[in-house]
Amino acid sequence: MRYQLLIDADDTLWENNIYFEQAIHAFTAFLDHSRLTPQEVRAVLDEVERLMGYGSVNFTRSLVETYRRLAERDLQDEDVRQVQQFGEQIRTHPLELMDGVRETLDYLSPRHDLVLLTKGDVEEQKLKVERSGIEHYFRQVEIVPEKDVATYHRLVEELQTDPRHTWMIGNSPRSDINPALAAGLNAVFIPHPHTWHLEHEEVQNGGDGKLLTLSAFAELRTHF
């Protein structure tokens, strides 16, 4: 059986959120708030991020806005620049593929139709795909502002594929697994220890789609 495989990018094909977590840790230490715990500082940052949007550029803006809200001393230009640096260093960090990704894509691409499906800032995600060196494995690259049920319905229609023969592969219950299953697709859940906590949800399969949980991307070779 030849399947349509929709494959997530960040934290499925390459490391991503761990660099954001490192930046948040550095930011929280720099802020050094006298009353708020790191978890409470993170809650404010989460609120700001929901307004600012995805990607490292918006993340940097979110850090600066959070600093403006929470700083306990007069804002200094050099302090704002330091906060900006915490976010900007993410953009220059070398892209690191997950173990077994290249070999697994090399195995899957002749056997199935692969589509890279990622969400976020278009230009930033395009740059990641180019830097990854794996774009040639995919029939096409789809960059969307959000992965929801409507997104999966639209893709099934555009790709003219049968949902029963289509699998979404990713690490995020909220964006990759639950909405794909709700749209009637199958899904492969590959948990990542550093998945962005705003992407956490209980995995739910109330539809007709099949759900497969694997511990590593390379294990796809034994199932597809």
Distance CA 169, CA 22 (A): 26
Residue 44 structure tokens: 């404010």
pLDDT tens digits, one per residue of 193-224: 777 666 667 888 766 789 999 999 999 999 99
User: Tens of pLDDT along 125-145?
Assistant: 999 999 999 999 999 999 998
Output the CA torsion 18→121→9→167 (10° steps).
130
> Which positions ≥6 away from 140 have C-beta within 8 Å?
115, 116
Its CATH class, for the domain covering 4-14+95-222, is alpha beta
For the chain, the domains span: 4-14+95-222, 17-91
Q: Would you place residue 162 in the very low, low, confident or very high pLDDT band (cuts 50, 70, 90)?
A: very high
Topology, domain 17-91: DNA polymerase; domain 1 (1.10.150)
Angle of helix 17-31 relative to helix 38-52, nearest 10 degrees?
120
